[in-house]
Amino acid sequence: MSTTLFLVQILNGVQLGVLLFLIAAGLTLVFGVMDFINLAHGVQYMLGAYLAVAFYGYVDNFLLALILALLASLVFGLLLEFFVFRHLYDRDHLDQVIATFGIILFLNHGVRMVWGAAPLSLPVPEFFTGSVVLMSGLLYPVWRLAIIGSGLAIAVGLYVLVTFTRIGMLVRAGATNARMVSALGVNIKRLFMIVFGFGTMLAGFAGIMIAPIISVEPGMGDNILILAFVVIVIGGIGSIRGAFVAALLVGLVDTLGRSFSVDILRLMMGPSPARMAGPAIASMLIYVLMALVLYARPTGLFPARGR
């Protein structure tokens, strides 16, 4: 296990963490403010990637394609909220799960019909191609650093928005006691629409930023949605700070576990058993982390006040 490889995987874990934060931030606020379980949040991540690929094909400019894809993601998310989700607010969680799971199936099939089942790709912006030397012997892709930097910048912006603005005050109050906020005259459904639209844009942005690195394909949001739910459970429902800390923890544990579990097990067993057991153990680490956190703090690391 070399130091260079370890540092690279640390950066990869941080990159995964900030992507998970972008997805989990909107999801945790929606759940916290409206007590609404939205399994379809992952498809917004997928749609962001697909829309970026589509718009890039038309305008041949990454920045313009990013802006258009974000706006399209916002519009599509608000349409979903208006025509589908707002009719589910007063239903129980089982109805919400079934309905939003149906939306996942519908949209996954929809992108197959529109873009086909073959994986698509989005080129890295020319300005962000290549690698930079972080230290002697350590090269790291510029685009991955851009993902980390933009994610951290958005995290700071969200903290300022939620902590120091009127809308943020209402969001925090709604996450604590939505019924009381509604009784005080705040249009809680309009507040939810704002939160939902913003969360949609964040998930779409995550999909756009990861599209130059991975294949854009139907169902790409399903697995990352599971990780996002793990993040909000560990961090605490309705908490932006909790989502950020938990996303970094999950990203690092998952990345380092998958990279070094076999090497660590070789210290305790033979190479062949280590190769067989390592991947299985690595895939369970984030769930073990979740279980440990819930055992120590059943409401998560930083739950919204009142929960």
Q: What is the pLDDT of residues 99-116, one digit of tens each?
A: 888 888 888 898 899 898
Q: Which of 140-144, 159-163, 286-290 has the lowest mean pLDDT?
A: 159-163
pLDDT number for residue 304: 66
Contact 52, 115 (CB under 8 A): no
Angle at 149 (CA atoms; ends 145, 154), nearest 5 degrees: 150
Contact 148, 20 (CB under 8 A): no
Partners of 140 in beta bridges:
132
Mean pLDDT of the chain: 83
Query: From 1.10.3470, 1.10.10, 1.10.150, 1.25.40, which CATH number describes the 15-296 domain?
Result: 1.10.3470
Determine the average pLDDT of the residues in 179-198. Answer: 76
Q: What is the pLDDT of residues 51-75, one digit of tens each?
A: 999 999 888 888 899 999 999 988 9
C-alpha span between 249 and 232 (Å, rounded): 12
Tokens coding 23: 């997805």
Q: Where are the domains of the chain?
A: 15-296
| Nearest Cα to Cα of residue 44 among 254, 211, 283, 204 | 204
**Residue 277 clears pLDDT 90, i.e. is over it:** no
Contact 238, 195 (CB under 8 A): no
Q: What is the pLDDT of residues 236-270, one digit of tens each?
A: 877 788 889 999 999 999 888 887 777 777 777 77
Q: Angle, to 10 degrees, between the axis of helix 93-115 and the axis of helix 41-59?
A: 20
pTM of the model: 0.88
Determine the average pLDDT of the residues in 183-212. Answer: 82
**Residue 178 clears pLDDT 70, i.e. is over it:** no
